[in-house]
Structure 1
């Protein structure tokens, strides 16, 4: 395992984080505990969850695992959670209001069996709640010791800049979780630059594109069986019909497969290794159904891609920005030399 500091902070975390969205839903408690054991035995320290994962079951499973470990092992875990969405049947019980976040944080602490959370992230932007109210809550949570650091998730570039400006000098806002992988590179246009400019470490979620970058899905062959899209081909932004219709998807998969074959490693490891080369990325959130998948993904830390391989993957996965402002015609506005 390798380690890095998270954003503009002194917090040291593992370069891979264990994402636990499947815990309590697709991954039963016994397998989840085994994943936590495998991850920490490999040197992993960063465990990522959210109150909404499996309706709170993910946090409960992590809390049960932590309770069984000696104090020294518990203290090595850098624990992150998130709040914003409803956990239960009342849809209005959501958002980034002071009331909702306070109740959500208390509930997360109870489920986790902890008196504080290392990193508490707001799970998405709330257009109804004034940003000052949300940031004020995070400031108070840091001052009270309920959380050590705060972060963002699923914010756009302008939202990141506004949140960072509001938080500056008040409390440590250190991270941002976007969806980021070889099939979702549009975040490089505004979101990643906003994170780098404001000192937020980028924590990519869905680094394998919901399984697409493992090579398990094929052109003109709708997925079936015990896979994420096999059970629901229309699932979210990773839906089969949505992604399979883009030629860039198959061009990217072919490039990943070529690099993987030449190196004798899985496509997953190549896709994850590429993310490790991206500016601003601090730790990659790994989500796996099985222990075997997790073990393979952890091996990506050993894959150091060469310049030619990175260039091949970059070219194949290029989302093709319009000429201006993100493409070639806007280059003059984005660059400068002293010559």
Structure 2
């Protein structure tokens, strides 16, 4: 495994992290989840991502249980808040009240004394940004979190937060967690440059486009019965990728990967890690073998000709905007 600094902070995290969205506490049984987490740790992954809203806290509980046998200093836990955790008007968002209460709740579920990276899962237009940033800074002062980050914030929101932080002498936000893969590249236009300028690293999720960039889905064919795409409880995030032109281009990428002697998953992850603004890519896993395959991507270097060929294939996809 290789490690990168998270933005301009001193925190070093593995180039691949393990996430728990739509898997742990949900579609994957606990023992399998423990096996995946233990395999990731064994292979050098030290960054583990979750959120309070993932199965209403169950994902945090599973992660905390799996990690408790390891030295606390040897891993980095990131969790998030924003989405509803109850029916009340203050059970959601980024108010000071919700931030303070949910931090304590996450610490309890994780079984930890502190959270390494606490992230705003989305931007909250109903709360003054100053209120949110001061609350996060206070959590750092209290020792409940070590660093703060955001997720899926726009370039303008990131720039504003950085400006407020500097003006008020608050500890800086060190990361943004956006979706990023070969098919969804919106962050390249503004988010990446603005984040880099303000010392923030990118923790990207869905690097394999929810399994599309594994090559297992073929154009003009039925979804495999045992695949995530066929699982009605989680396939809502995959359906937008199911266009014949997208799947045809993915098969061309698959052929290119085969020529290079790697899997499409490994090629897709190496393509993401080519960018110095990316600190880590979060992979999901429902089997330990998937973790073993994915970690090999950190040793793959893509030369200019291969990157050019990838771009030519991706240019064949027209007007594709899955969720924006």
1:40 corresponds in structure 2 to 41
> Are the counterparts in 1 of residues 7 and 200 from structure 2 also a CA contact under 8 Å?
yes
259, 278, 281: which is aligned to 2:278? 281
> Structure 2 stretches of 5 or more lacking a match?
320-324
C-alpha deviation, 1:238, in angstroms: 2.6
1:125 corresponds in structure 2 to 123
1:102 corresponds in structure 2 to 100
CA distance in structure 1 between the partners assigned to 2:116 and 2:234 by the alignment: 35
C-alpha deviation, 1:6, in angstroms: 0.6
> Are the counterparts in 2 of residues 9 and 172 from structure 1 also a CA contact under 8 Å?
no
CA distance in structure 2 between the partners assigned to 1:292 and 1:90 by the alignment: 42
> Are the counterparts in 1 of residues 219 and 248 from structure 2 also a CA contact under 8 Å?
no
CA distance in structure 1 between the partners assigned to 2:124 and 2:96 by the alignment: 12
SS of 2:7's equivalent in the other structure is: coil
Q: 128-137 or 188-197: which moved more?
A: 188-197
1:8 corresponds in structure 2 to 8
The size of the alignment, in residue pairs, is 315
> Are the counterparts in 2 of residues 2 and 15 from structure 1 also a CA contact under 8 Å?
yes
C-alpha deviation, 1:204, in angstroms: 0.8
After superposition, give the CA deviation of every residue in 1:240-262 in whole Å (9 maximum; x if it has no partner): xx323373x23541342122111
> Are the counterparts in 2 of residues 224 and 231 from structure 1 also a CA contact under 8 Å?
no
1:66 corresponds in structure 2 to 67
SS of 2:225's equivalent in the other structure is: coil
SS of 1:173's equivalent in the other structure is: coil
Does 1 or 2 have the higher relative contact order (CA < 8 Å, sep 6+)?
2
1:316 matched to 2:313: yes
2:77 corresponds in structure 1 to 79
CA distance in structure 2 between the partners assigned to 1:158 and 1:117 by the alignment: 27
> Are the counterparts in 2 of residues 251 and 317 from structure 1 also a CA contact under 8 Å?
no
Q: 26-35 or 207-216: which moved more?
A: 26-35
CA distance in structure 1 between the partners assigned to 2:269 and 2:171 by the alignment: 31
259, 263, 267: which is aligned to 2:260? 263
> Are the counterparts in 1 of residues 217 and 247 from structure 2 also a CA contact under 8 Å?
no
C-alpha deviation, 1:302, in angstroms: 2.0
> Are the counterparts in 1 of residues 36 and 288 from structure 2 also a CA contact under 8 Å?
yes
1:220 corresponds in structure 2 to 220
After superposition, give the CA deviation of every residue in 1:143-171 in whole Å (9 maximum; x if it has no partner): 11111100010111111111122223311
CA distance in structure 1 between the partners assigned to 2:20 and 2:241 by the alignment: 24
> Are the counterparts in 1 of residues 162 and 172 from structure 2 also a CA contact under 8 Å?
no
After superposition, give the CA deviation of every residue in 1:49-91 in whole Å (9 maximum; x if it has no partner): 1111121111111221233x15xx3320111111111124557
SS of 1:283's equivalent in the other structure is: strand
SS of 1:218's equivalent in the other structure is: coil
C-alpha deviation, 1:181, in angstroms: 0.0
CA shift in 2, pair 1:185/1:252, >3 Å: farther
1:330 corresponds in structure 2 to none
C-alpha deviation, 1:226, in angstroms: 2.3
CA distance in structure 2 between the partners assigned to 1:250 and 1:91 by the alignment: 42
Instruction: Using structure 1 for the length normalisation, give the TM-score.
Output: 0.88
C-alpha deviation, 1:304, in angstroms: 1.5
CA shift in 2, pair 1:134/1:213, >3 Å: same
2:322 corresponds in structure 1 to none
CA shift in 2, pair 1:92/1:288, >3 Å: same
Instruction: Using structure 2 for the length normalisation, give the TM-score.
Output: 0.92
CA distance in structure 2 between the partners assigned to 1:113 and 1:107 by the alignment: 10
Q: 114-123 or 166-175: which moved more?
A: 166-175
